[in-house]
């Protein structure tokens, strides 16, 4: 029997006894969340299970929700079951003051660079990552530019007059 | 049988559309011409500039049009585009320079031999342009000294040619002692070079 979102939800609920929660479907794609401590267990289960077989990590990124106190940073895994062509989004939330999330780079090699990028822009500390350093930005950068508290513009510039750029 | 297309059927009077460079000031008489070394070398240099295109985005495409047969930068003695900084006189930076690219631009500049000139083509190379963001260098004059800025987003080939002509002016009028002067050394030290 082909895999469906209903079966997936049932299997996850049975396996993790309600720790995996917040199932919802938007734009035809299911998403759910879990506590960050069990992110690898969920990913491993989705990977290894003979029925689920989510063995392709399409994307890994983070989102910053400043008003979501205690759960400011969301790490989002996009997974793909190639055989049944089913995709899911899996989120874990973390406190921005202690953004430690276990690395998925042992399970998916693709996660290696994507976690470096996520660290680069959001400062998520992937515990156990083999080479967690900046990948796209200059090494000297001392902040995480995609966090909402930082404006887009380069704050070190001195030659541009704010009034001339409509920001006065 | 008459051919459908014929070329050069109208007689073109020669010399009307050819402009000649003026002779530098000097004394001349039968069989000799005396002028200052400065002017002779300036004249030679300015009409044989080898550009090094450092093209990172759309301004580079405009430069390709400038080098093509229609606009033909070769008319101004810049026929030979060198792709090694060690052979070139003029660094043409065309396009957005990300902060991560900054050290590369500087490295290329350092590899060029004196005398060397730099032209920033387009809004991005001159000021960062529309990319007023954390990852983009806000003008290459933050890492290397620039002689001529060409505005535009991207500038038309005419504008690039105008920039090259202004570089030629600078090259032709530059004193041979400038690169040994205190002022020039201070300029380079301002960029942390040497």
d(CA B169, CA B69): 24
pLDDT at B1: 61
Pick the residue with more confidence: B166 or A158? B166
The proportion of chain B whose per-residue pLDDT surpasses 90, expressed as a percent, equals 58
Which residue stretches of chain A have pLDDT < 50? none
pLDDT at A159: 66
State the DSSP H helix or E strand holding residue A64, giving kind and residue range, or none if neither.
strand A56-64
pLDDT at A150: 87
Q: Note the ipTM here.
A: 0.75
pLDDT at A168: 62
Q: Is the distance from CB of B96 to CB of A115 less than 8 angstroms? A: no
pLDDT at B145: 94
pLDDT at A164: 72
d(CA A68, CA A91): 14
Closest residue, chain B, to A142 (C-alpha): B134
Taking an 8 Å cut-off on Cβ atoms, the answer to whether B139 and A137 are in contact is: no
pLDDT band for position B64 (50/70/90)?
very high
Mean pLDDT calculated for residue range B53-63: 93
Q: Is the distance from CB of B93 to CB of B121 less than 8 angstroms? A: yes
Residue B82 has pLDDT above 90, yes or no: no
From chain A, the residues in CB contact with B138 under 8 A are: 154, 157, 159-160
Taking an 8 Å cut-off on Cβ atoms, the answer to whether B99 and A137 are in contact is: yes
Residue B52 has pLDDT above 70, yes or no: yes
How do residues B83-109 score in pLDDT, each as one tens digit?
899 999 999 999 999 999 999 999 999
Taking an 8 Å cut-off on Cβ atoms, the answer to whether A138 and B136 are in contact is: no
């Amino acid at each position: 029997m082909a895999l469906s979102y209903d079966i997936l939800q049932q299997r996850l609920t049975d396996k993790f006894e309600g720790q995996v929660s917040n199932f919802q479907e938007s734009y035809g794609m299911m998403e759910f969340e879990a506590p960050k401590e069990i992110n690898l267990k969920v990913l491993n289960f989705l990977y290894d299970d003979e029925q689920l077989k989510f063995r392709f990590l399409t994307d890994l990124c983070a989102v910053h929700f400043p008003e979501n106190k205690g759960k400011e940073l969301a790490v989002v895994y996009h997974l793909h079951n190639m055989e049944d062509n089913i995709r899911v989004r899996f989120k874990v939330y973390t406190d921005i003051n202690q953004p430690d999330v276990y690395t998925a780079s042992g399970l998916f090699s693709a996660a290696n660079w994507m976690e470096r990028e996520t660290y680069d822009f959001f400062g998520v500390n992937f515990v156990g990552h083999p080479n967690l350093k900046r990948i796209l930005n200059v090494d000297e950068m001392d902040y995480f530019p995609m966090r909402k508290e930082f404006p887009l513009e380069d704050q070190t510039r001195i030659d541009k007059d704010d009034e001339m750029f409509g920001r006065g | 049988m008459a051919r459908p297309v014929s070329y050069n059927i109208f007689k073109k009077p020669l010399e009307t559309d050819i402009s000649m460079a003026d002779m530098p000031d000097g004394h001349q008489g039968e069989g000799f011409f005396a002028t200052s070394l400065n002017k002779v070398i300036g004249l030679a240099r300015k009409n044989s500039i080898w550009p090094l295109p450092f093209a990172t985005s759309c301004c580079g495409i405009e430069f390709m049009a400038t080098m093509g047969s229609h606009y033909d930068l070769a008319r101004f003695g810049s026929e030979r585009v060198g792709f090694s900084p060690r052979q070139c006189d003029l660094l043409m930076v065309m396009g957005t320079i990300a902060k991560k690219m900054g050290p590369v631009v500087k490295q290329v500049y350092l590899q060029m031999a004196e005398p060397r000139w730099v032209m920033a083509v387009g809004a991005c190379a001159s000021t960062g342009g529309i990319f007023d963001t954390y990852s983009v260098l806000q003008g290459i004059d933050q890492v290397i000294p620039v002689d001529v800025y060409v505005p535009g987003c991207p500038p038309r080939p005419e504008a690039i040619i105008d920039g090259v002509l202004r570089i030629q002016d600078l090259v032709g009028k530059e004193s041979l002692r400038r690169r040994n002067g205190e002022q020039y050394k201070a300029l380079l030290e301002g960029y942390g070079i040497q």
